[in-house]
Amino acid sequence: MFQQLRNIDTAFKHIKLFSFLLIASTAIVCCYTVFKSYQLIGETQERIYILSNGKALEAWSAERKDNIPVEAKDHVRMFHYHFFTLDPDDKVIQANTTKALYLADASAKRQYDNLKENRYYSNIISGNISQQIAFDSIRVSVDQYPFHFKCYAKQKLIRTTSIVTRKLVTEGFLRNVSRSDNNPHGFLIEKWSTLENYDLKTENR
pLDDT surpassing 80 at residue 4: no
pTM given for the model? 0.71
Give CA–CA dist 194/187, Å, rounded: 19
Q: Which of the two residues, 8 and 84, has the higher pLDDT score? A: 84
Residues 40 and 76 in one domain: no
Task: Give the pLDDT confidence score for residue 47 in this predicted structure.
Answer: 58
Better pLDDT: 2 or 100? 100
pLDDT digits (tens, 9 = 90+) for 171-202: 999 999 999 999 999 999 999 999 999 999 99
Residue 165 lies in a domain: yes
Any idea which of 54-68, 126-140, 147-161, 190-204 has the lowest mean pLDDT?
54-68
Question: Residue 192: inside a domain, yes or no?
Answer: yes
Measured CA to CA in angstroms, residue 122 lies from 82, 88, 119, 152, 166 at distances of 17, 9, 5, 26, 20
Query: What are the helix (H) ranges across the chain?
Result: 2-46, 64-84, 90-101, 106-117, 120-126
Whether residues 99 and 158 share a domain: the answer is yes
133 in the same domain as 187? yes
Total structural domains within the chain? 2
Looking at the fold, whether 12 and 89 belong to one and the same domain comes out as no
Where in the sequence is the domain holding 110, given as residue range(s)?
A: 63-204
Whether 71 and 150 share a structural domain: yes
Domain-located, residue 54: no
Helix then strand count (H, E) for the chain reads 5, 6
Residue 139, in any domain of the structure: yes
Same domain, 103 and 10: no
Q: Is the pLDDT of residue 63 over 90?
A: no
In-domain check, residue 70? yes
> Could you tell me which residue, 18 or 76, shows the higher pLDDT?
76
| Whether 18 and 90 share a structural domain | no
pLDDT band at 50 (very low <50, low <70, confident <90, very high): low
